[in-house]
Amino acid sequence: MSAVPYRRVLVKVSGEALMGPDAFGLHPPTVTRIAADLADARALGVELAVVVGGGNIFRGVQGAAKGLDRATADQLGMLATVMNALALEAAIEAAGTPARTMSAVAMPTVCEPYSRQKALSHLAKGRVVLLAGGTGNPFFTTDTGGALRAAELGCGALLKATNVDGVYSSDPKADPAAVRYERLTHSEAIDRQLGVMDAAAFALARESRMPIIVFSIQEPGAVTAVLRGEGRATLVTA
């Protein structure tokens, strides 16, 4: 534990990361690998909360673009995050680490409703807490939900797990001239309109002075490497 500077962190895992090589849904070997990485991170002694996206199943913005009412589309996206969280919970438990899914959208026959006090209790008992349902409200992304939960749970850092190894000036998959940043401030990320997270998430993290570490979750052991300061990542801080 002495090698890890954080007592508690929140990891934001995108829904797309759970697809693996597939074009849609959950790729079981990828889910198993990410779950094992999260379990290993917990074994370092770090209290671990996880916010899961839903873009591998349904993305609210895309649904609205196809004619759905935006609020309804976002509610469908919230349900997708619950599906992903339950899949990760099962995989983390199979890896030998206790886990609990909590949803901001109440569905008590499926998982626990989210409350800050109960989430803190689970964390103190060594359980990985998977936070689904976003903020429970439409028009807010799971990135914003991650920044909100990280702040209210008193996390030392928000780890943004993506498909690229940091923050770039533009999409490195589409622009070979994209510049990778080693370090940024929250204000710089907002002013430069860097798309790795939405502006509301960066603003909330800035207000709570929450460092954000952006890294790729494509390789095994990525979360533990970042926690030890060994991984390739971009640090966004005050």
Is 13 annotated as a binding-site member? yes
As a 3-state breakdown, the chain gives helix, strand, coil percent values, each rounded to 5, of 40, 20, 40
Is 84 annotated as a binding-site member? no
Q: What is the pLDDT of residues 91-106, one digit of tens each?
A: 999 999 999 999 999 9
Q: What is the pLDDT of residues 126-139, one digit of tens each?
A: 999 999 999 999 99
Secondary structure (3-state) at 233: strand
pLDDT value for 196: 87
- The model carries a pTM of 0.94
Is 22 annotated as a binding-site member? no
Strand partners, 214: 160, 234
Is 139 annotated as a binding-site member? yes
Give, for 158, the enclosing helix (H) or strand (E). Answer: strand 157-162
Name which of 151, 104, 153, 106 is nearest 128 in CA terms. Answer: 153
Say how far apart CA 196 and CA 96 lie, in whole Å: 32
Is 237 annotated as a binding-site member? no
CATH of domain 8-237: 3.40.1160.10
Position 186 confidence tier, pLDDT thresholds 50, 70, 90 = very high
Is 163 annotated as a binding-site member? yes
Is 63 annotated as a binding-site member? no
Each domain of the chain, given as residue ranges in start order, spans 8-237
Is 138 annotated as a binding-site member? yes
Is 133 annotated as a binding-site member? no
Is 30 annotated as a binding-site member? no
